[in-house]
């Protein structure tokens, strides 16, 4: 059925014509050829199965009307913003070169403190605005300009395909959702556009967002949720009842925790996932994909996704959650599921979140338990394993290589890092500047950015982002979820610390080694609370050796450094504040090191530090 508008409630709504489809028995494809100009019209299918007829949008929709109930006939070339043909993917040489900042489109600019124009707040077009500052006062950069200063390489966007939970037709409701309830996988969400009624607009504005981030040198990672649909009353089930889902008898399996689980192992379901990911990378220039509840998806499908993206470029990132909501209700054999225990069956360029490192660092995600950063040394060897991206035979091993490990301590799920630290300290002052709280945040950041693997942080972690203790804010209002950009000012010391960590990570290649070379060359010492390690370096033009020392206690520590190679006689302690770049704080002789309380020390051998400093000075 062809219609003039995307819904019956719009002005000028009119059903125009219906056409019958014919089956090609040799291919199994139903099709119809219609002559005339149908551009920008909308359509649905009437599908009859076992005597029951249901109306549905196209499973393969590339454009839709408001709230995604009708598909749209669209000329995709006409949705390209000016300069789109010249837009290029942003790639890093190795996955471990990426530095990922996870954000929700609404959170990014939903607060007036973002400095974004009122009409673009919470929208795709907020990413296209330059010159934004805190409260619009012209002093401290926000949004994309700020991200350039911070130094991240990729923005990870929480779901931006068309999802069900927000009524696009009534923005005055101010509904909010993270978007983990897919409706139309191959179409951008309409509530983030300036006009969800015109299917062209959301596509054009989405592409404009991607183009603006690329212009800033920042890659775009898309959060994809192929493990379930919003409900079983989906376009998939209306088109081919039950085929796309895993069932036990009449019961839909629920390893997603959302009422159904997508049957990725079935031929056309698998093909759909592979084709969909490829389409986003090709049509929208997406640079990476994060798979929600990847444990619900079979290993064969994920490897086929990797092969498909390699046809575009092998540097496109893939990572995901190596778990399910209920593995016992998955419908896949454990051996086929994309969980950590099966990482060896996946490409080494399909990464997984390292939750064992996360929990060892800060304790369980939502309670008052503690981890290493709060002074709890119970799981110290899990921390050491995490520093090595859980890819060392000596310690806990999950992954073949660091390129398979996402190293992190907070994400959109659960308490923010700041809120978790506060809860573990029985502190409910979300605007506190207590020194020990800030030092815990810094210690976490230092461990994440100097560990092997792919570093990942929640947007605003670097400015003590708070959701005031809301650990599951998936439908809480923007007043809870939106980034408060004024914290760039009130927590500027913390922001500066993160900038320095990113700068150091980019300079010292062994932090970013995708193979196990650095893992094999790292030498650890610990007294049960202080962790120290040394890494030699063979890369010309960089420091020859570094030593990292972490003290999580309220008292000083003393530790003797060791190495697989000869240690230097003297060290330089680095200072990497924002204004001066990486410079010398002070020098120490020997390898018996005193580490101040709640402190991270970066040590560089003095000879290579002096050599590089001299080279830089001679170039000025």
List, by residue number, the catalytic residues: 292, 321
> Distance (Å, rounded) from C-alpha 466 to C-alpha 455?
20
* 64 contacts 206 by C-beta, under 8 angstroms: no
> Distance (Å, rounded) from C-alpha 189 to C-alpha 186?
10
Q: Order of strands across the sheet with 15-17?
A: 15-17, 2-3, 42-43, 71-72
- The per-type count for the chain, helices as H runs and strands as E runs, is 15, 28
Phi, psi of 595 (to 5 degrees): -115, 120
Look up residue 104 and give its DSSP letter: -
Q: How many residues make up the chain in this entry?
A: 620
> Kind and range of the H or E element at 546?
strand 545-551
Residues 6+ apart with CB under 8 A from 281: 287, 289, 309, 312, 316
> CA 367 → CA 386, 502, 581, distances in Å?
21, 29, 38
> CA 562 → CA 305, 533, 559, distances in Å?
43, 8, 10
Q: Is the dihedral of CA 11, 16, 18, 21 positive or negative?
A: negative
Residues 6+ apart with CB under 8 A from 440: 373, 374, 421, 598
Of 382, 301, 390, nearest to 338 by C-alpha is 301
Local structure of 71: helix, strand or coil: strand
* 488 contacts 438 by C-beta, under 8 angstroms: no
> Kind and range of the H or E element at 382?
helix 380-387
3-state DSSP helix/strand/coil % of the chain, to nearest 5? 35, 20, 45
> Distance (Å, rounded) from C-alpha 290 to C-alpha 147?
20
- Strand locations in 351-445, DSSP E? 351-353, 405-408
b or e along 36-55 (b: 16 or more beta carbons within 10 Å of the residue's beta carbon)?
A: eeeebbbbbbebeeeeeebe
Look up residue 196 and give its DSSP letter: T
Q: Is the dihedral of CA 552, 380, 465, 90 positive or negative?
A: positive
Of 62, 57, 32, 34, nearest to 45 by C-alpha is 57
């Amino acid at each position: 059925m062809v219609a003039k508008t995307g819904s019956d409630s719009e002005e000028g709504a009119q059903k125009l014509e219906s056409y019958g489809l014919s089956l090609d028995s040799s291919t199994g494809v139903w099709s119809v050829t219609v002559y005339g100009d149908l551009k920008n019209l909308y359509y649905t299918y009437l599908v009859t199965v076992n005597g029951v007829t249901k109306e549905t949008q196209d499973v393969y929709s590339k454009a839709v009307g408001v709230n995604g109930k009708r598909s749209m006939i669209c000329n995709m070339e006409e949705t390209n913003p000016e300069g789109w043909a010249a837009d290029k993917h942003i790639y890093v040489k190795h996955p471990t070169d990426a530095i990922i900042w996870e954000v929700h489109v609404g959170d990014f600019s939903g607060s007036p403190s973002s400095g974004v124009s009122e009409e673009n707040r919470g929208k795709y077009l907020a990413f296209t605005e330059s010159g934004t500052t805190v409260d619009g006062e012209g002093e401290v950069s926000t949004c994309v300009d700020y991200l350039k200063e911070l130094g991240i390489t990729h923005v990870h966007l929480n779901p931006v395909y068309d999802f069900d939970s927000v009524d696009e037709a009534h923005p005055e409701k101010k509904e909010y959702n993270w978007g983990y309830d897919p409706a139309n996988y191959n179409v951008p969400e309409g509530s983030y556009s300036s006009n969800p009624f015109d299917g062209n607009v959301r596509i054009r504005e989405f592409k404009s967002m991607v183009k603006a981030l690329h212009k800033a040198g920042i890659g775009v990672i898309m959060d994809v949720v192929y493990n379930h649909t919003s409900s079983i009353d989906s376009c998939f089930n209306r088109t081919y009842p039950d085929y796309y889902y895993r069932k036990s008898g009449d019961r839909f399996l629920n390893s997603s925790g959302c009422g159904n689980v997508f049957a990725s192992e079935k031929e056309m379901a698998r093909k759909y996932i592979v084709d969909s990911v490829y389409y986003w990378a090709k049509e929208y220039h997406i640079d990476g994909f994060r798979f929600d509840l990847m444990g619900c998806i079979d290993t064969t499908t994920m490897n086929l996704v990797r092969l498909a993206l390699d046809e575009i470029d092998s540097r496109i990132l893939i990572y995901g959650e190596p778990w399910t909501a209920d593995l016992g209700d998955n419908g896949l054999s454990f051996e086929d599921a994309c969980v950590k225990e099966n990482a060896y069956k996946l490409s080494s360029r399909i990464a997984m979140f390292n939750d064992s490192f996360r929990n060892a660092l800060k304790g369980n995600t939502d309670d008052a338990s503690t981890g290493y950063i709060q002074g709890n040394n119970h799981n110290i060897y899990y921390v050491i394993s995490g520093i090595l991206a859980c890819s060392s035979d000596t310690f806990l091993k999950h992954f073949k290589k660091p390129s398979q490990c996402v190293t992190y301590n907070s994400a959109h799920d659960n308490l923010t890092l700041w809120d978790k630290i506060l809860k573990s300290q029985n502190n409910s002052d979300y605007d506190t500047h207590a020194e020990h709280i800030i030092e815990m945040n810094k210690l976490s950041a230092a461990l994440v950015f100097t560990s092997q693997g792919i570093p990942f942080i929640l947007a605003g972690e670097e400015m003590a982002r708070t959701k005031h203790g809301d650990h599951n804010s998936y439908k809480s209002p923007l007043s809870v979820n939106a980034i408060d950009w004024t914290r760039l000012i009130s927590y500027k010391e913390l922001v500066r610390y993160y900038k320095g960590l990113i700068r150091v990570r980019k300079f010292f290649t062994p932090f970013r080694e995708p193979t196990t070379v650095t893992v094999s060359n790292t030498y650890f010492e610990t007294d049960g609370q202080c962790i120290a390690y040394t890494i030699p370096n063979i890369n010309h033009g960089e420091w020859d050796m570094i030593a990292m020392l972490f003290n999580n206690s309220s008292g000083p520590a003393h530790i003797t450094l060791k190495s697989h190679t000869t240690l230097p006689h003297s060290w330089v302690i680095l200072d990497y504040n924002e204004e001066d770049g990486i410079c010398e704080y002070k020098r120490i002789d020997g390898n018996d090191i005193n580490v101040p309380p709640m402190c991270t020390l970066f040590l560089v051998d003095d000879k290579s530090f002096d050599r590089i400093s001299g080279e830089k000075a001679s170039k000025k």
